[in-house]
Structure 1
Amino acid sequence: MASDVSSNRFSMRSIRSSLAASIANPRYGNQRKSLTEELTTGFNQAPKRTLNIQDVKIRSGYSTTNGLSKIKETNKERKRRKWKEMQARKIEDREPSRQSGRRVSWQYLPDLIIEHIFQYLTFRAVLDHMKVSRCLNAIGFKLRSLSFLPTYNLHNIVEFQVVIKRFCMINNIKLPNIEHFSYVFPCDFARKHNEVEIYGTGGQILQNMKDLLECLPGLRDLELKDLQLQGEDAEHALDEVSSVCSHSIRTLKIVNLSRHPFSVLTVSTFFNLRVLVLAPHNLGDDLVESLGDLKKLRNLHIVTNAYTEAIPTPVDYRIWKQMRKKHPRLRVHLINEGKFDREIVMQTLAPVRSIVYDTPFTRCTQASVNLVVEMYKTDIEVYCHKRLPRFSRSRSFHDRADSCYMYLVRQCPYIHTLMIRERLSSSTVLLLAYTGKNLRYLHIRRNAIILKCDWPRSPEWSDEFYSWLKCASRSYDAMEKEVSQILGFRWYLLTDKQFKLTPINLNYQHYYEGFEEGD
């Protein structure tokens, strides 16, 4: 065996030396040619099995020669090991203790033990009342907006409201310069911070907010989102605001004011209201009838988000029919926002001008488009699917939404804004721009375009039109130039970042509906 290995070794050495000699000396050109032909790899057959390889089991992390020398761990193995350790720790935290049979989470400890633990803790994120008071004395009269957004510390929000209220009471003053107030309750606070489950606000938190709103007589925009109130709290949530700001508020947003279906009739006391935003389960027949008396109201946004748990009942179609006659300038917008997959609650015979899906999970289907065309054929002006899609869809023409959008644009002549995030062919973009006579704002993702003319030829198309469609569908530049020619201005496809940042102004009145009186 040793002689065979040595002979093979010397034969390879002889080949290398002969190759080197042929390269250095031109006299060996013929020998070089013959040797290279012999050594050229041929992909004609599989390699022969000349080695007898046996499976040797090695302990992970150690070599066979020295038990102390560790084998280098790859990145894939390291990530998998850390992932398994993390999953094991999660399982240990979730499973009950084997000895006591109880959960070991801290919120189940007795109060005495928790008080003893809190003696050794230092809180850095506690609100400093002295600094807040000094700040209010210095710039309190210059404040124009107050926004309480979801944070990691709900206690600081409540304390800050108490400090502002106390500042106004002690100095016997109010803050008339504040025109915008926003309060968004952190409904997912428990999920993010491993706290006890929270169901909306109410009680002392609600009372502190209502006391603060009494000190803001100059409010024009009020936003109360996801309060999830119940019973009497929801019924009297806006009493203090209506008594102080009934003539000054122009925009009122009260999405998910209550957790269960409840008609917020207090809205009818804001006489100069222009924009009203609320959830569908807070809109009832009696409220829609009272909105007919608000002659300055122009836009009604019916918004459903991920925290809307109640199953709403649509308003009676006869109420909407009376509303059209009583308040012909009212515009209704149906909106779904948040990370959930749910269809919009349609309002029969309502003057719906916009339908917006601000969610990454909803697809454009033929059934939803047919329903929109059937109910709002002569009313719809805006149809949008915002955010990037979080679902996959086939590239086949029959599985895409090209025909749905073409049917929508053909049947709804007043559409001026169309926002599409799903896959489309370049020929569909050209046909949408050509068919939509009033189409002005066309927002389409560049990454969703398929450069192809996959529409079957229609008998209505001439040879010249069909040849133009095929030529303009071959490249992005040609398609953008032709769409620009149709729309009358330079038009571009949007990147994903541009698409996410594109705003849609639903309150803008595109068509002339008469002279608008000032305030």
Structure 2
Amino acid sequence: MANCVEEAPAIVVTKILSYLSWNEKLNATQALPSWKSHLHTSAAWPLVQHGSEGEENVYFVKEKRAHLLICLKIYGKYIRHIDLAFGYNTGRSGLQILNAIANFCPNLLSFRFAPHESPVPHTLPETTLTKSHVLATCSILSNCKHLNEVGIISPIISWSHAAETNLLLGLCCANVAHKITELELFSGSLLDHEGYLKLLREFTGVKKLMVRREKVNNEILLGLVKNGLQEITLYQDEELPLVDAQQLGEKFWNDVLKINSNFKVDLILQYILVIKDSFITNMPLRSLVLDDLVNIVTKGVIDHLVTHYSESLESFTYTNLYLENFESGDSRLPAALVTMVKKCKHLHTLKYGFPLSSTSVLLIAKARKLRELIIPAVEVSYEFDWEIQEDWDDDFRQWLTNNCKSEALLENSVSELLGFEWHLFYEHFNYMTFGRNLCLNL
């Protein structure tokens, strides 16, 4: 049997290797030395991905980084795509990996780099990049001539520290800022930064941007859109001064949509007061996250969202950790949610962290075949609490009555409606739990 495996056709071996992670490839070729020659082709290396260091012991991370370094030096010329994230101090081993990419991966097409996978504020002095790290990152963009996609994800940057340790400034000074196509700047990327982030003007190739709301104005953002920006995630966790709040208004979004009618906005609002006026009527809102607001979202706000974003809204998240005294919220909200799911024709994701009856959950699932429906088990009450609606026939009313009585009945019914096995959520619920594409990992 071992001989059969070792003597498998090259096309089969290469295909198998392509499905393995980089370290699994190395392990496989140690067990099957005859497979080693099949690693000398780009088909075996569709993606080199290194991350999730925070889930591992630091001593194993050190060893894993050493193996990655060897891998890059031996097979770098065959690698086309690299996704690199450090969960511990980048340090010397991280620097060696960055230099190896710059020197041994000349055919790289895409590079995504998260210098601080899970940054912790009190470790700031240890986690900020050094001058050498900045130079090595710039070298990758300079040396790899075929790069067409580059993402810089959530670097920790203190703008009061030396400019030579500032990755954004370094990219501009090295004349490679235009190569960045994805830029994610969470709060830790803007420590001690004052005013608008005018430096963004240098990133003329960026297609996807995440930034704090108060760091961009009409001029900066419109310039980026003219250069090809396709989507933006705006994060806001404090009330804006009037001069900032007046930016990105109705006329601005009209101008944006004239340039790019398919432009998308993801909005994350936290720790602030939210009212109808918080949502500009013609903003092309794709995703909305409301987390730990200082007030309760009312039916009027939900209705406003439905009225103005029914053609664009794809994902809605409303969670809460601190407002225990108001956790019941607006009693009309469950009905408003059902209306939202019915009328927002592109909505595929709903995450809701407030009390909700099992009947409401059934009605939501019945209204649309969502791809993702996240409801914490602790928030669900098993009751039939809706008034009979005119469009409910006897069979539907009986179906609701029968299936709202227990967790098992509810989960089975929702699973049938959505077309996949669905369960209530039992972990600690907050918006950061549900995917990096819509959060800032604060």
**TM-score between the two structures when normalised by the length of structure 2:** 0.62
Pick from 340, 346, 369 the counterpart of residue 414 of structure 1. 346
Unpaired stretches in structure 1, ≥5 consecutive residues? 1-124, 126-131, 508-519
What is the match of residue 118 of structure 1? Answer: none
Q: Using the alignment, how far apart are the partners of 1:225 and 1:213 within structure 2?
A: 12
Mapped pair 1:254 → 2:188:
no
**Residues 73 and 104 of structure 2 are in contact (CA less than 8 Å); yes or no, is this contact kept in structure 1?**
no
Pick from 268, 273, 288 the counterpart of residue 355 of structure 1. 288
Change (3 A) 1:397 1:450: farther
Question: Offset at 1:483?
Answer: 3.2
Mapped pair 1:450 → 2:374:
no
Partner AA of 2:135 in structure 1: D
What is the match of residue 511 of structure 1? Answer: none
Which deviations, in whole Å up to 9, do the C-alpha atoms of 1:43-69 show, x marking residues without a partner?
A: xxxxxxxxxxxxxxxxxxxxxxxxxxx
Question: Offset at 1:282?
Answer: 2.0
SS, match of residue 300 in structure 1: strand
Which deviations, in whole Å up to 9, do the C-alpha atoms of 1:197-250 show, x marking residues without a partner?
A: 98x97xxx6755532322212572212445252699688464136x23634x33
What is the match of residue 211 of structure 1? Answer: 135
Query: Which runs of structure 2 are paired with 1:149-188 in the superposition (5 Å)?
Result: 149=87, 157=90, 173=103, 179-184=111-116
Counting aligned pairs with the same residue, the percent is 19
Pick from 418, 422, 439 the counterpart of residue 492 of structure 1. 422
What is the match of residue 266 of structure 1? Answer: 200
Mapped pair 1:483 → 2:414:
yes
Q: Using the alignment, how far apart are the partners of 2:368 and 2:425 within structure 1?
A: 25
Question: Offset at 1:452?
Answer: 0.6
**TM-score between the two structures when normalised by the length of structure 1:** 0.54
Q: Using the alignment, how far apart are the partners of 2:119 and 2:428 within structure 1?
A: 30
Q: Using the alignment, how far apart are the partners of 1:240 and 1:160 within structure 2?
A: 25
**Which is richer in helix?**
2
Partner AA of 1:275 in structure 2: K
Mapped pair 1:470 → 2:401:
yes
Unpaired stretches in structure 2, ≥5 consecutive residues? 1-57, 59-64, 77-81, 142-146
SS, match of residue 215 in structure 1: helix
SS, match of residue 313 in structure 2: coil
Change (3 A) 1:379 1:230: farther
Q: Using the alignment, how far apart are the partners of 1:458 and 1:300 within structure 2?
A: 40
Q: Using the alignment, how far apart are the partners of 2:263 and 2:198 within structure 1?
A: 19
Tell which structure's C-alpha radius of gyration is larger. Answer: 1
Which deviations, in whole Å up to 9, do the C-alpha atoms of 1:371-419 show, x marking residues without a partner?
A: 4335424321210236x84553689796484234234334533322111
Query: Which runs of structure 2 are paired with 1:331-410 in the superposition (5 Å)?
Result: 331-336=264-269, 341-343=271-273, 346-357=279-290, 364-366=297-299, 368-385=301-318, 389-392=321-324, 399=331, 401-410=333-342
Question: Offset at 1:453?
Answer: 0.4
Question: Offset at 1:287?
Answer: 2.1
SS, match of residue 179 in structure 1: strand
Partner AA of 1:366 in structure 2: K
Which deviations, in whole Å up to 9, do the C-alpha atoms of 1:125-162 show, x marking residues without a partner?
A: 9xxxxxx999968855768455455x6xxxx6566777
Q: Using the alignment, how far apart are the partners of 1:334 and 1:502 within structure 2?
A: 15
What is the match of residue 362 of structure 2? Answer: 430
What is the match of residue 299 of structure 1? Answer: 231
**Residues 316 and 348 of structure 1 are in contact (CA less than 8 Å); yes or no, is this contact kept in structure 2?**
no
C-alpha RMSD of the superposition: 4.7
Partner AA of 1:441 in structure 2: E
Query: Which runs of structure 2 are paired with 1:48-197 in the superposition (5 Å)?
Result: 144=82, 146-149=84-87, 157=90, 173=103, 179-184=111-116, 189-190=121-122
**Residues 224 and 253 of structure 1 are in contact (CA less than 8 Å); yes or no, is this contact kept in structure 2?**
yes
SS, match of residue 332 in structure 1: strand
Change (3 A) 1:362 1:397: closer
SS, match of residue 474 in structure 1: coil
What is the match of residue 281 of structure 1? Answer: 214
**Residues 400 and 423 of structure 1 are in contact (CA less than 8 Å); yes or no, is this contact kept in structure 2?**
no
RCO comparison, higher one (Cα < 8 Å, 6+): 2
Q: Using the alignment, how far apart are the partners of 2:414 and 2:158 within structure 1?
A: 47
